[in-house]
């Protein structure tokens, strides 16, 4: 007797690997004391880049890294971050704790990090406080092979060849910290900045407009109406899951009741509505879906860990956050006709991080393990799903207990990622695969005794991926029992 049913059908659509992207801002201990450490810290390093972090991120195949912000991007002046480090100007990071930014991590350091990670750099240019000329010259510095003065500077600074950066953000949150603009004003600004951010030989820029804040549908409407689709590769959208839904008191990362957990998941599932409604507006102006919806800031945002600098946004990461990551990635996979890029905020030591560090120690969060489990979907063919899920009810309200996405890789293997949000009840699911042949199933699961469980420096492997054996072939059907509060990915051969 099954509680849920699923039908999977093959399609021609690809789930872009860029949905699995990451974001790293000059914020708190994300770059400084995260990726980029003191030269005396006793860990393996290249220059000052931590290589244990690089190895962990290579393992999950991060496809892109967005930098330098966030709000920081619109006060960042790229010329401050090149040349001899001792001579680089210092500035105040006004958005994040008022700390002094010494600019030791700049353009060359970021691109060296991207190379070590084997991922595409995604640079967010400064529209809020930078000029059109400044952005234009940054692109020339990066991508031109001419003998212009800025290109000579790049060569003197140690990089003779063009960097070939393609993903290019034109401002960040221009409706807020990026300049408090109206969408009409921003659309005009986008066209100015984008016109002078040139394509150099072999490197056509993929320009991404600063898009809406969560459910600001008017922003999307105005940008789509006023910016020619030929000028814009993508339109970004930012949405954070706040446990309480209240920016003043967001809720704890580690101490919450079932009701609070349930409310958090309601807020997480809002991503489905946001992506659907923004996509519907984009469809009106771009029926061929040429412009990508780029969800380049997402994740759970809680109150900071007690005793830490509130401007550093350092938070622990529990099994709940793993369920949030898996649910959100399922939503993106299922909308991969329009969502072609995304970035979780913010990789190391900030918000929903994949990795936490304490001096030389490092741990992988439950969220990291979800990205490890889900990497099989990168660039795989999307499988269309029809799902009937039981409800999960708390306090008189209900949400679907189960959410799912699935794909078929180039070798023909099918991967089905299932999330059971119910804290106490396992769900048995019966699946029909249309036109897909398979004979064997195996899987991986992430769960733990309590939804509040976390990995700590004392117990770094409390939550990790384990083999899942509760799935079998029954005739033509796949039957699996998904434990309470767990994420399972099945592989069918
Ligand atoms: O990720 C933290 C901040 O959230 C970013 O700097 C900003 O873009 C957003 O408001």
- Of 343, 319, 348, 355, nearest to 465 by C-alpha is 319
ipTM: 0.99
Q: How far is the CA of 157 from the centre of ligand 1 (A)?
A: 30
- Which tokens in the block code for residue 298? 């997402």
- Which tokens in the block code for residue 441? 């199933």
What distances in angstroms separate CA 180 from CA 172, 176, 184, 270, 328, one per listed residue? 11, 4, 12, 25, 28
Question: Would you say 200 and 150 are in contact if contact means Cβ atoms under 8 Å apart?
Answer: no
Three-class SS of residue 231?
helix
For 116-150, letters b (16+ CB in 10 Å) and e give: bbebbbbbbbbbbebeeebbbbbbbbbbbbeeeeb
Q: Is residue 273 flagged as an active site residue?
A: no
DSSP 256: -
- Of 182, 180, 205, nearest to 193 by C-alpha is 205
Question: Would you say 173 and 71 are in contact if contact means Cβ atoms under 8 Å apart?
Answer: yes
- The active-site residue, picked from 75, 109, 173, 491, is 173
Residues with CB under 6 A from ligand 1: 25, 69-71, 172-173, 297, 345-346, 351
Torsion sign across C-alpha atoms 414, 419, 425, 430: negative
Question: Would you say 37 and 435 are in contact if contact means Cβ atoms under 8 Å apart?
Answer: no
Three-class SS of residue 262?
helix
Q: Residue whose CA is closest, atom 8 of ligand 1?
A: 70
Vertex 107: Cα angle to 121 and 157 (nearest 5): 130
Note down pLDDT in tens along the chain; length 493 residues: 679 999 999 999 999 999 999 999 999 999 999 999 999 999 999 999 999 999 999 999 999 999 999 999 999 999 999 999 999 999 999 999 999 999 999 999 999 999 999 999 999 999 999 999 999 999 999 999 999 999 999 999 999 999 999 999 999 999 999 999 999 999 999 999 999 999 999 999 999 999 999 999 999 999 999 999 999 999 999 999 999 999 999 999 999 999 999 999 999 999 999 999 999 999 999 999 999 999 999 999 999 999 999 999 999 999 999 999 999 999 999 999 999 999 999 999 999 999 999 999 999 999 999 999 999 999 999 999 999 999 999 999 999 999 999 999 999 999 999 999 999 999 999 999 988 889 999 999 999 999 999 999 999 999 999 999 999 999 889 999 999 999 999 999 9
CA atoms within 13 A on the CB side of 245: 11
CA dihedral angle for residue 98, residue 40, residue 105, residue 359, rounded to 10 degrees: -60
Q: Residue whose CA is closest, atom 6 of ligand 1?
A: 70
Q: Residue whose CA is closest, atom 4 of ligand 1?
A: 70
Confidence at residue 1, expressed as pLDDT on a 0 to 100 scale: 62
Strand pairing report for 234-241 and 206-209: parallel
Q: How far is the CA of 78 from the centre of ligand 1 (A)?
A: 19
**What is the spatial distance between Cα 120 and Cα 62, in angstroms, rounded to a whole number?**
9
**Ligand 1 atom index nearest CA of 345:** 1
Confidence at residue 438, expressed as pLDDT on a 0 to 100 scale: 92
CA dihedral angle for residue 194, residue 197, residue 202, residue 207, rounded to 10 degrees: -40
Q: Residue whose CA is closest, atom 2 of ligand 1?
A: 70
Mutual orientation of helices 51-59 and 107-117 as an angle, nearest 10°? 50
First CA to last CA distance, the chain: 25
**What is the spatial distance between Cα 445 and Cα 440, in angstroms, rounded to a whole number?**
17
- Of 302, 330, 162, nearest to 245 by C-alpha is 302
Q: How far is the CA of 283 from the centre of ligand 1 (A)?
A: 27
Domains and CATH numbers, the chain: 4-8+383-492 (2.60.40.1180), 16-378 (3.20.20.80)
Strand pairing report for 49-50 and 361-364: unpaired
CA atoms within 13 A on the CB side of 167: 28
User: Which residues are within 8 A (CB) of 42 and not within 5 positions of it... i.e. 6 or more apart?
Assistant: 360
**Ligand 1 atom index nearest CA of 23:** 1
Q: Residue whose CA is closest, atom 3 of ligand 1?
A: 70
Strand pairing report for 167-170 and 120-125: parallel
Torsion sign across C-alpha atoms 482, 483, 487, 489: negative
Q: Is residue 173 flagged as an active site residue?
A: yes
- Of 124, 236, 127, 286, nearest to 192 by C-alpha is 127
- Environment class of residue 480 by beta-carbon count within 10 Å: exposed (0-12), middle (13-18) or buried (19+)? buried
User: Which residues are within 8 A (CB) of 387 and not within 5 positions of it... i.e. 6 or more apart?
Assistant: 4, 5, 6, 400, 402, 403, 404
């Amino acid at each position: 007797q099954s509680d849920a049913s699923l039908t999977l059908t093959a399609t021609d659509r690809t789930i872009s690997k860029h949905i699995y992207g990451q974001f790293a801002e000059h914020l708190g201990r994300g770059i400084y004391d995260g990726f980029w450490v003191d030269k005396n810290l006793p860990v393996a390093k290249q220059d000052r880049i931590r290589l244990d972090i690089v190895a962990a991120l290579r393992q999950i195949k991060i496809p892109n890294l967005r930098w330098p912000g966030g709000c920081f991007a619109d006060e960042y002046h790229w010329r401050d971050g090149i040349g001899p480090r001792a001579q680089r100007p210092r500035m105040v990071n006004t958005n994040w704790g008022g700390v002094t930014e010494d600019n030791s991590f700049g353009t060359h350091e970021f691109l060296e990090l991207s190379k070590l990670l084997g991922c595409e750099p995604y640079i967010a240019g400064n529209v809020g406080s930078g000029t059109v000329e400044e952005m234009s010259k940054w692109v020339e510095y990066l991508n031109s092979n001419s003998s212009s003065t800025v290109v000579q500077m790049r060569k003197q600074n140690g990089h003779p060849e063009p960097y070939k950066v393609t993903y290019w953000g034109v401002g960040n949150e221009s409706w807020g910290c990026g300049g408090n603009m109206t969408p009409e004003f921003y659309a005009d600004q986008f066209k100015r900045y984008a016109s002078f951010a040139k394509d150099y030989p072999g490197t056509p820029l993929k320009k991404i407009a600063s898009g809406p804040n969560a459910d600001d549908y008017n922003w999307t409407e105005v940008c789509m109406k006023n910016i020619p689709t030929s000028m814009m590769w993508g339109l970004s959208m930012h949405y954070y899951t706040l446990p309480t839904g209240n920016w003043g008191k967001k809720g704890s990362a580690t101490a919450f009741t079932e009701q609070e957990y349930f409310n958090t998941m309601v807020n997480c599932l809002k991503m489905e509505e946001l992506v659907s409604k923004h996509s519907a507006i984009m469809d009106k102006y771009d029926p061929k879906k040429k412009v990508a919806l780029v969800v380049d800031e997402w994740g759970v945002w809680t109150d900071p860990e007690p005793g830490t600098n509130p401007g550093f946004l350092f938070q622990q990461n529990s099994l709940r956050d793993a369920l949030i990551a898996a649910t959100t990635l399922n939503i993106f996979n299922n909308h991969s006709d329009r969502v072609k890029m995304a970035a979780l905020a913010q990789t190391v030591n900030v918000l929903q991080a994949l990795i936490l560090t304490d001096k030389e120690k490092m741990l992988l969060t439950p969220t990291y393990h979800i990205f490890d489990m889900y990497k099989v979907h990168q660039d795989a063919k999307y499988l269309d799903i029809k799902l009937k899920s039981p409800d999960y009810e708390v306090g008189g309200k209900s949400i679907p207990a189960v959410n799912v996405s699935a794909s078929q890789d180039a070798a023909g293997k099918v991967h089905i990622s299932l999330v059971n949000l119910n804290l106490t009840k396992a769900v048995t699911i019966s699946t029909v695969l249309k036109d897909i042949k398979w004979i064997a199933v195996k899987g991986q699961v992430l769960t733990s005794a309590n939804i509040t469980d976390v990995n700590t420096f004392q117990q770094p492997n409390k939550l990790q991926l384990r083999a899942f054996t509760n799935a079998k072939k029954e005739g033509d059907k796949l039957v699996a029992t998904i434990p309470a509060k767990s994420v399972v990915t099945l592989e069918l051969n």
